[in-house]
């Protein structure tokens, strides 16, 4: 299984609605994947995810490989059973850690030598080993090993990464043996149009099950990110799913859907939730602010999440002021519900041929964070923990 069926492309837009068929259910697209880096979405249980309506999540193969280890995952019958999740799953191969763990790795043509941030031990990950790890994990969609360059790298350095990523993709495909897993290639190229085009053309020629856009939203200005998305999408086959890696700001997701992206993942919604930032249709609000100290109603009257149905904004404000752990869970539930609902509303707009007006209305009402603040947060997020 793991087929993609395009249901509709909206009139006057490149926005698409589709169905990704997996062994763990049909996933309607566009879809947002919560990030469970270490086999868990922080502060959230699988039952929470199900109540929110999440149908697919991401886990990171490199981090799971380190802890608990492949011997544990294999003995437990795969990652789905280990973590108690019966929905669809995608795993990242570890290519993002080539960027986020730059101080702890060394790249060669054969693969990447990582020094573990956990205990200092060394681990050599080749394209073939990355595939083997993900086959043991048992995710529905797996990724080739790629080399993700920094957004500040020069043209020659990014060109080298693109060429190596294409060679590694070919090796990954040759090593892939499980027909019940979809293997996606990852397009790199930084903020250089010519390199993005070269990467896309070479990988499309290899005929993968789907294509991801990597190496974006890692510190580059938004206008450059949007430009790279728009230029790259036009080079991808229309009958294959398109996955934008690591993008989770609502305004960026809406823009990317308008360009034809189908899948998204990011730790942003849960990370900012644990810091008291809650998504609303008008933008983020900081629940720690004094304005919420005596607010009787929910954070968002229009929200149907567990948190807003049961608790006042004043109570959430209290939890964060007291640093009560339940506050992190309730805020994370709210933000993931917002993202899941946003995808549902966008899909309905696509099916109704009303997406352009939805996009315009959303972006006119939603107040994104200050660009300088956003870039500072993004660069801070490139820590040793990856996503």
Closest listed residue to residue 340, CA positions, set 89, 92, 88, 51: 51
- Residue 374 is predicted with a pLDDT of 64
Interval 249-265: pLDDT, tens? 999 999 999 999 999 99
Q: Which of 48, 92, 146, 252 is catalytic?
A: 92
pLDDT in tens, 267-287: 999 999 999 999 999 999 999
Catalytic residue status for 265: yes
Q: What pLDDT, on the 0 to 100 scale, is given for residue 383? A: 52
pTM of the full structure: 0.95
**pLDDT reading at 266 higher than 70:** yes
Highest mean pLDDT among 87-101, 114-128, 154-168: 154-168
Q: Where are the domains of the chain?
A: 3-273+370-381
Q: Are 190 and 215 in contact (CB under 8 A)?
A: yes
What residues contact residue 340 under an 8 Å CB cut-off, 6+ apart? 32, 52, 53, 54
Average pLDDT, the chain: 94
What confidence score (pLDDT) does residue 142 get? 98
Q: Using N-to-C axis directions, what is the helix angle for 127-137 and 155-175, rounded to 10°?
A: 50
pLDDT category, 371, cuts 50, 70, 90? Answer: confident
Q: Confidence class of residue 382 from pLDDT cuts 50, 70 and 90?
A: low
Quote the pLDDT of residue 384: 38
Query: How much is the average pLDDT of 84-97?
Result: 90
Confidence at residue 101, expressed as pLDDT on a 0 to 100 scale? 67
Strand 283-286, strand 25-29: pairing: unpaired
Which pLDDT does position 377 carry in this prediction? 63
CB 298 within 8 A of CB 242: no
The whole-number pLDDT of residue 241 equals 98
Catalytic entry in 146, 262, 265, 300: 265
Q: Is 140 a catalytic residue?
A: no
Q: What integer is the mean pLDDT of 240-244?
A: 98
Q: pLDDT for 98-128, tens place per residue?
A: 666 667 788 999 999 989 888 989 999 999 9
Structure confidence at residue 197 as a pLDDT band (50, 70, 90): very high
In CATH, what class is 3-273+370-381?
alpha beta
Q: Are 334 and 307 spatial neighbours (Cβ–Cβ below 8 Å)?
A: yes
Query: Is 381's pLDDT higher than 90?
Result: no
Asked if the model's pLDDT at residue 385 lies above 50, the reply is no
What gap in Å lies between CA 63 and CA 54, rounded to an integer? Answer: 22
Confidence of residue 380 (pLDDT cuts 50, 70, 90): low
pLDDT category at 167 given cuts 50, 70, 90 is: very high
The arithmetic mean of pLDDT across residues 136-151, rounded, is 95
Cβ–Cβ under 8 Å, residues 368 and 24: no
The pLDDT of 296-310, averaged and rounded, is: 97
% of the chain with per-residue pLDDT over 70: 94
pLDDT for residue 226 is more than 80: yes
Q: What is the pLDDT of residues 18-49, one digit of tens each?
A: 999 999 999 999 999 999 999 999 999 999 99
pLDDT of residue 104: 75
């Amino acid at each position: 299984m793991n087929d993609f069926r395009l249901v509709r492309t909206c009139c006057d837009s490149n926005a698409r609605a589709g169905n990704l068929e997996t062994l763990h259910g049909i996933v309607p697209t566009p879809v947002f994947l919560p990030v469970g880096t270490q086999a868990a979405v922080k502060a959230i249980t699988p039952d929470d995810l199900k109540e929110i309506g999440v149908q697919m999540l991401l886990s990171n193969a490199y981090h799971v490989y380190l802890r608990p280890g492949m011997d544990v995952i294999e003995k437990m019958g795969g990652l789905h059973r280990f973590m108690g999740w019966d929905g669809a799953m995608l795993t990242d191969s570890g290519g993002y850690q080539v960027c986020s763990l730059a101080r702890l790795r060394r790249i060669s043509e054969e693969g990447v030598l990582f020094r573990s941030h956990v205990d200092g031990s060394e681990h050599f990950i080749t394209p073939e080993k990355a595939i083997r790890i993900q086959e043991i994990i048992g995710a529905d969609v797996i990724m080739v090993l790629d080399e993700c360059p920094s957004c500040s790298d020069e043209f020659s350095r990014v060109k080298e990464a693109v060429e190596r990523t294409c060679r590694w993709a070919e090796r990954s495909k040759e090593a892939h043996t499980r027909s019940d897993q979809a293997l996606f290639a990852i397009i790199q190229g930084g903020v250089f149009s010519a390199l993005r085009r070269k990467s896309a053309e070479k990988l499309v020629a290899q005929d993968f099950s789907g294509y991801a856009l990597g190496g974006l939203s890692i510190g580059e200005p938004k206008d450059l990110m949007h430009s790279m998305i728009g230029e790259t999408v036009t080079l991808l086959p229309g009958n294959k799913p398109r996955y934008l890696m690591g993008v989770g700001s609502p305004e960026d997701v809406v823009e990317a859907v308008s360009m034809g992206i189908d899948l998204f993942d990011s730790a942003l919604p849960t990370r900012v939730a644990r810091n008291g930032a809650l998504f609303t249709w008008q933008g983020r609000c900081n629940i720690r602010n004094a304005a919420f100290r005596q607010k009787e109603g929910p954070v968002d009257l229009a929200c149907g999440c567990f948190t807003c149905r049961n608790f006042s904004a004043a109570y959430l404000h209290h939890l964060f002021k007291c640093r009560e752990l339940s506050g992190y869970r309730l805020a994370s539930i709210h933000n993931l519900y917002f993202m899941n609902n946003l995808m549902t509303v966008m899909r309905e707009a696509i099916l109704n041929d009303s997406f352009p007006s939805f996009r315009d209305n959303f972006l006119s009402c939603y107040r994104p964070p200050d660009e300088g603040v956003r870039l500072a947060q993004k660069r801070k997020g490139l820590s040793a923990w990856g996503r």
